[in-house]
Structure 1
Amino acid sequence: MNDRLGFLYGQHPHAAEAFGGVTPQGYMVISDNELIVPCGTAFPARLNKETGKLIEFELPKPGRTPGGWFTAAGKAARRGETEVTTPVLQFDRDVNSARHENGQNYGPDGKRGLRQQIHLGDQNLKYQTPIPGVEGTIHSLLVAADFLIAVTLEGSIYCLGPEKTTPVTYESTILKVTAERSEKPQNVPLPAMFSDQLQAGGYVFMAGMPDASLLNTLLTHSQLHVIFLQNHSGMINSLRQLYRERGNPNSKLAFLSDSLNELEFPAYFAQTIIAAEPVYSGHKSYSDLVNQLYPSVRPYGGRLIVKSSEADHQKMVAEFKTLSQVKISRIDDYSIFEKAGAIPGSSNYTGGWSSPDELVKAPVGVLWYDDSVGNFKRAPQPLFFDGVMISHSKYWQGYPAGIRPPYKLLAPQFA
């Protein structure tokens, strides 16, 4: 699908045009021969489910007409009361909405509360109506084989049948451990070989297990994402099961059972990389190990930490003393390769109309991405200083209360 949908252009605010495309969000729906794909701020796309050919999709225009992630079939199509050649879709007005400085904008044809209910024959079940036996806030309902399934925002799934029976409860290990952790102090102090910058979060890649306690210590820091590699499928399967039972989801701890020397990693993806000796981490020599992993360490203080003897450390100091941006040191039984400073050729941007950055070249594609920082569109351009993006949004939410431009700047956000 991407080869057909990734080059779509659409109108943006102030008559600007930019490429876009289908960005699936929410539940996809099959209706006859069509696949309905809710996506981003646009209205859902319609595709041929057999060929993937786009039937209908339009980016929102004139730029202030929001779409949303939710859609539902019309009653006639769902109940089979009449045949429809074209799917009849309905939208929720509250989902298809977006705040703008002069108030709330809504997409066309929206019906309030549609997202918060389902139709079953002649019944209409609303999520706000309590269901006996279901605790928590209902997020979605569905029916299958005469069973009503309710999913709550608290993370529980209830299956309700037509006859009275003795309930069977399955407890989620992840939810149980998460609740226990919330009552215990977190962030066990990291060993001295780790940079203070790791406190801000990021990816930690472990090639082998130089110290069994390291993994457990890292997992106490909720802002870290850990990837553990060991070329031993049996060990990886055991560790995966063990840590899942302890309540560590894939988003927190991922496992790889491949050989390190057969993998390729993106540049600058990890804040810290920890490697056991070559024989345990998957290489024949320290030279091969460092040459493969050091390029993936982030600038501005990212570290490659290698378990080594004093003799091997001295050999690496001599071999890699001219490595780009490197500062080599030794802490305890580890050789530390710190990538200091900026990427060669890059520069800070602190305002103005130009930036002498040698690494940014035309054609420039994506100018802005990431949902973690969302600013009002007339906010000042973000600054980039030593690898940190500093942005200020404007306080425009007070427009309905009489606050008018120029809006004051809010506290900076860092990314």
Structure 2
Amino acid sequence: MHILVIGGGGREHTLVWKLSQSKQVDKIYAIPGNPGMMELAECIDTIDIMDNVSLVGFAKKQKIDLVVVGPEVPLINGAVDAFVAAGIKAFGPNQAAAEIEGSKSFSKNLMKKYGIPTAKYEVFTDVEKARAYIQKEGAPIVIKADGLAAGKGVIVAVSLEEALAAVDEIMCDQAFGQAGSRVVIEECLIGEEASLLAFTDGDTIVPMVSSQDHKRAYDNDEGPNTGGMGAYAPAPVVTAAILEKVQKEVLEPTIAAMKAEGRKYVGCLYAGIMITTAGPKVIEFNARFGDPETQVVLPLLKSDLVDVMLACIEGRLKATKVEWSAEKAVCIVMAAGGYPKSYKKNDAISGLAAAQASGAFVFHAGTAAANKQIVTNGGRVLGVVATAPDIKDAVAKAYLGVSKIDFANKHYRTDIAYRALNRLK
């Protein structure tokens, strides 16, 4: 089989790595890819991932059997629709289904209509009405840009002043561009957060191993929100009972709701869940694999990922067994100093081979090749991942890998998986 993976981040490097393990795969292409993928895939950086015509043309020319669309932006741009129209199998939701991530107001309204547990909310396009609602509800409160904001368009305000400033930042200052022309303001859910990714063919939905992201930039969950500073899997907070509740009250009703709305959802559905005293509630849905959750979930998948993806596309998921390792996995994100605000690029990275030799996987997220060396090229630069029979050893192994890697002003959290470790005390 010839496979095309669209995207160039840590999630896509992990997908390429996992797909390459399938005996069915002869060749993998990545658009645009990154230097870390080059051993496993041919990277093509001359095609824009938003140019569906060129993407389809390339897939036809290279006789691609399966396309895997990684990021949300091309999904919302209708990449899957374009491939399917050309008779090419593509893993991921079509444009109509991807709106579950593309518009937070669509997602919240869907949950309200179909009784899927989530936070109380209101949607605003008028700044003054948004401010008045905040004054009425008080803090803490959550303000979200309605559209895509690369995982950063959510502000959890602990005071009224912070909440009002967040509305100004999103709606008036357009910190997230057009994504903030509409905001969703919702109650602040209290509890422990977890991520649950699931495979679905639009009728059957099969959850993956649970995981937990660390969104704040600094230790002790302090600092601004980021795209994710690390993750681990499975998340002990998602007990068997919680998982069953999420399956019955969130995942299955959501897939049924999307089908009822004429937006049959095929691909990976990501549910961000808050485990509250009243039970699990949805924080958000994403229309694709999470990042960095993918980096800890896929290393634990024992089944052939190609088989599972084809079962989703062909409507055979119910008859497909998806098997998981009992090991634990940890990912430490190494970021550029200053991230998620301004940061430098083009700093030389050393120690990648030493990190791999220490037993870690190193997934490239924001790197580039320059002057025969690997350099930084993004906010989140690398994801250093380790697996082990227990979480303590996985954490130690991942941080050992991190210790081997160096670049100017590198930044990473030193407390990834602290909640799981605290449960062992």
TM-score past 0.5 threshold = no
TM-score under structure 2 normalisation?
A: 0.25
Higher helix share: 2
In the superposition, the TM-score normalised over structure 1's length comes to 0.26
- Where relative contact order (Cα < 8 A, 6+ residues apart) is larger, the structure is 2
